[in-house]
Structures are given as C-alpha cells and as structure tokens.
Amino acid sequence: MSLRINQTAPDFTAETTQGTIQFHDWIGDNWAVLFSHPKNFTPVCTTELGTMAGLEGEFRKRGVRIIGISVDPVESHGKWKQDIRVATGFDVEYPLIGDKDLKVAKLYDMLPEEAGNSSEGRTPADNATVRSVYVIGPDKKIKLILTYPMTTGRNFDEILRAIDSIQLTAKHQVATPANWKHGDDVIITAAVSNEDAITRFGSFDTVLPYLRKTRQPTA
C-alpha cells in the first residue's frame, strides 16, 4: 500500500555516512527531508546532491534536517563526495543512507517490488522510479511526497518553497495560492468567518465568495 499524506513516516534503522541511525530519533523535534537518488557516480544525481549541499543552510534556517539515500553502499557514498565537490563546488556534509538491501527504498515505495532484493548488479535503468522526496514534520507525519522521473533533476528551491507553505499553514488558518512565495499574499481558509478574519488578519480582499486573500501572517 502506498504511503499517504498525514501518515506516520515509517521508522527504520540504517547505516549512513555518519554512522547508524534510528530514523525517528534522528529527526527528533525537527522537520526532515528524506530524498533518494538512483545511483552514485551518475550525472543528474551528482548535480542534485551538490545542490542540496549548497542549500543545507537554508533548510537549517527552517529547522529542517536533510538526509539522502540510494541503494549504493555507504563506502561508495564516501568516494563519490569528491566528484560532487568537483562538479558543484559544495561539500556533502549531510548523511547519506546506504540501502544496499533495498529495505528503506521498499518501505518508502521508492522501488518496484520486482527490482530485486539487493543492490548488486543494479544499473541506473533499474532505478527509474527512485527520485523521490518526503517532507516529514516533527510529529513524524508525512507532509509532502514528490516523485520525479529518472531524467528530470529536482528543483530543490521548490521544495524549500513548499516547506515555507507547509510550516506557515500549520500555524495559521491560511492556504497558499499557485506559485506562492514567502511574503506573498495568502488565502484565508473556509473555516474562518469574515468576522474572525478581521480579528485575525486585520483586513482581507474578497476576490470571490470562496476566495479571500490577505497579507501573509508574520507572527
């Protein structure tokens, strides 16, 4: 059965480039991004992991820990880091899970069941559905799920944008419109009456009876 939004993220024990972790303990009271890539020493993945390394400070500002995963062994991750630095200029300092028995990948629906029971002999073509992202809250619930095809590198700025929205809307009874960015106007949810909206937000613009916009709350 596929994982769903608001489901508790499956817990697991795994070997990483920073030692053995218990996933829920590793998250602690933070938010987390678990993102997978098809295979080490491949071009798109190299750019992605370097991009995440360059953005790690932005994730940290939002209270988000990041962790990567592939079916390659931990030793391979360590060797690959030099290539990532050469290609992107960034050092990968966040942990990378070595999931050579495919345990975590299957737990998170990152691979088809027929992919086999180990990473031995795998090629990038075997991993076409692996480029996945899970955003997990401090409550250990899944907040966002994204899956990209093999040939399409992810836009990690979009993941930061989505986290900004998720964190904002968890605090206030608002939603964010299409293409929203931090600082843009937000939408007041239907659960808030017009009278309550005045109390909460000061003022708002009624675009349609069911579409009310207001400034982004700052508190």
Q: What is the CATH number of the domain that holds 182?
A: 3.30.1020.10
Please tell me the least confidently modeled range out of 56-60, 103-107, 110-114: 110-114
- 192 found inside a domain: yes
Query: Whose CA is closest to 145, among 28, 24, 35, 46?
Result: 35
Q: Which residues are catalytic?
A: 45
3-state secondary structure of 169: helix
Question: 64-70 and 31-36 as β-strands: parallel, antiparallel, unpaired?
Answer: parallel
Share above pLDDT 70 across residues of the chain, in percent, rounded to a whole number? 90
Note the pLDDT tens digit of each residue in 147-157: 988 789 999 99
Shared-domain flag, residues 123 and 184: no
C-alpha 100/C-alpha 85 separation (Å) is: 24
Domain range for 104: 13-153
Q: Structurally, how many domains does the chain consist of?
A: 2
Asked whether residue 101 falls in the same domain as residue 208, the answer is: no
Q: What is the mean pLDDT of residues 107-136?
A: 69
In a domain, 219, yes or no: no
